[in-house]
Structure 1
């Protein structure tokens, strides 16, 4: 039941219905505490922290994830532990605690290498842990704006694409291509950015998702600049973006 509540919460989050998502996550946390007050409860605390990060409301995120680690460490497998640590890294990054974010990134990488007990179903549902760690490492590097490690961000996005199966995780690929385009644009590689964004729009065709709409909307500003600079493909991509948002 806790896993079902998590799924319902994630679906509402993807549709932009954040109040309902939070309520389902909270119910999932309560159920997880009854079923497994260590690993599963820690996972649901992570879900609440992730939602807050997505909404750019980082208040108490560090406390939430530290609580999750306190509950989970010693009770979860390496893959799940890595997912807890990578969320810890993101929470530290958005609160501008650079050293702590770097330590959490290293802890996530170390945990991934641990091969011990099988990964439980509640954390397997989010997909391959290595892909999630790569994707969220890229977002952590993006949030650590002072570092401006756009090349590192690009590589993490490319690593994530390799680790996620395209047929099973089409939405993840679409959003990752959108983020990859952003990192390429930040490196003044306009042609490659347009190609990545174009791939993202192709994968998003037919999807109903608030997150994909937000990703498409975010393209409009850089594309207007690219159109003025006459970057090849920018005009057509802008037309496709308008059509997707219509």
Structure 2
């Protein structure tokens, strides 16, 4: 299908990026691989689009996202000269119905590769607190089902168990169970008759479970799907008036953006979380400021990054105890945040020192998955500064525990070891580490 005239909107966006035709094609191909649907476009295809040929419907989101990431702002379909997608012209599903549909799609592990084909959007519309607070749609309640605080406690307890499974074994292991629990138990509870207090408590519990399921999707690399869960969690938190969970979700969205290297969206989300935070306890300030520091560093805002990091340091020093505080931000967490800020600002040696501080400060309650992820980062940075044998020792400690973890993020880190060590095959320790990583990644 073609239009009669060149696509002036697409041409305008292309000029604004400063890309060549080849560079735009390469970025679209990269995003296709990220989404799980590889494409192989070249200059002639981009030239045809600029001249008015309409790209395939499945490719248009890649083009929109490519421009949004390059220009650091939302780009609409209309701005690019494309018709609006049919599904976006309809009213979005109500919160509970949308949550049930999202969970149903996630319950079948055999469909995981298909469901993972979702693209992280830097321009995702995030509802503000005033957009969601207390605005739950009118739900037709089920008069045959009535719930009380016992059901709320059950959901909270189950969420804690699922979180423990996620921490110990990874998101691929726990997410189907979390999705099934959302669909089969929690969603019906949201439609049950209850007192006002119980209803708000259940909405709050559902919000945090929804956020946790999104976090599991991040661990699997299903970043578009994770964003869907996060938005539902924001809606549920607002409906219950749970300001803490709302801010926690926003911060988690910033962490996701930062881990993917998107500095500007990470800053926007971290600042939104900090501005909306209802508490001013030292632990909460550290929880928010630590993420702001990392986001600022990724965005190249050195002064803001250092200011936020100093605020996190002051707040942690003021906090007397981690028990019963929101976010669990500790001296070990601060050391990790410091490592990420230092690395983003170009101080690799300082980042290594801070990661080592993190491991020195960790305790037995810290999650196994983060231990392996942070250890992998430490090994990569040790190699970058030329500490080959130290890097191999760190990697081997991760490989010792890797088979018990079902984490997409750790899978990706382990898959990189062989290529990172490819230039060091004359060293027997490097060669042994490389061969061991290959063997374990094939299992």
TM-score (norm 1): 0.87
Q: CA deviation at 1:135?
A: 1.5
Query: How far did 1:82 drift?
Result: 1.0
Q: Would you say 1:97 and 2:298 are equivalent positions?
A: no
SS in 2 for 1:42: helix
CA distance in 1, matches of 2:225, 2:369: 21
Tell me the CA shift for residue 25 of structure 1.
1.3
Partner of 1:181: 379
Deviations 1:60-107 (A, max 9, x none): 3212211111111x6143223212111111111111111111111111
- Structure 2 distance, partners of 1:109, 1:161, is 17
Equivalent residues, number: 237
Larger deviation: 40-49 or 56-65?
A: 56-65
Equivalent of residue 348 in structure 2, options 131, 142, 150: 150
Which of the residues 125, 132, 141 maps onto 2:342? 141
CA separation of 1:116 and 1:177: change in aligned 2, threshold 3 A:
closer
RMSD: 2.2
2:231 to 19, 26, 37: 26
Whole-Å separation in 2 of the counterparts to 1:96 and 1:50: 16
After TM superposition, the runs of 4+ consecutive aligned structure 1 residues lying more than 3 A away are 34-39, 116-122, 165-168
Shift of the alpha carbon at 1:117? 8.9
Query: Is 2:289 the partner of 1:85?
Result: yes
> Which of 128, 132, 148 is 2:333 aligned to?
132
Please tell me whether the aligned partners of residues 139 and 153 of structure 1 are also in contact (alpha carbons under 8 angstroms): yes
In the alignment, the residues of structure 2 paired with residue 118 and residue 222 of structure 1 have an alpha-carbon distance, to the nearest angstrom, of 38
Q: Which among 250, 253, 257 is matched to residue 45 of structure 1?
A: 250
Shift of 1:153: 0.9
Mapped to 2, the partners of 1:182 and 1:118 lie a distance apart of 31
CA distance change for structure 1 residues 68 and 157 in 2, over 3 Å: closer, same or farther?
Answer: same
Which residue matches 2:174? none
Look up the match of 1:169. 367
Contact 2:254–2:269 (Cα < 8 Å) also in 1: yes
In the alignment, which of 184, 194, 203 is matched to residue 401 of structure 2? 203
Rg (Cα) greater in structure: 2
CA contact (8 A) 1:90 1:136 kept: yes
**Cα distance between partner residues in 2 of 1:233 and 1:142:** 26
Cα offset for 1:165?
A: 3.3
List gaps (5 residues or longer) in structure 2: 1-205
**Higher normalized helix content (fraction of residues):** 1
Q: Which residue of 1 aligns with 2:178?
A: none
